[in-house]
Structure 1
């Protein structure tokens, strides 16, 4: 539903989307949604590798997607803790 609304807003009022997008990209919800999508994509590639014509490619891409999700999770936690620390200092 949110994607449909964002597409409608971008088609009707593109300037509003350009103003709101930087704020949306820096939220924790966006980070965790990105990680969840990468995990689901990686798992689906790994689970379907046996049925694919090129199982090695599917396994490799699925593994890379899961590694990227793990790295994003670790980096986002580090970034969030640094932001909290800066908030305490200020």
Structure 2
């Protein structure tokens, strides 16, 4: 009575198969690394873009504040001129 041995996938394994699966594994690892680095790059660029936008908003806020102060002083000057002219009449 002879028993047949169970067949495993490595029984018919060849160097070509090893090369193929090694290539697939390496390509998968490289692809994953590239994907992760791209995600990190996008995150950094997004943070930089947001930081630049915040700086721009701060600059706009400062310039608008300066313009508002100029307008306030002009209004005060015009009000004083108007009051002085109405008193002189």
Q: TM-score band (shorter)?
A: 0.3 to 0.5
TM-score by length of 1: 0.41
TM-score by length of 2: 0.42
Specify which structure has the bigger relative contact order, considering alpha-carbon pairs within 8 angstroms and separated by 6 or more residues. Answer: 1
Q: Whose radius of gyration is greater, 1 or 2?
A: 2
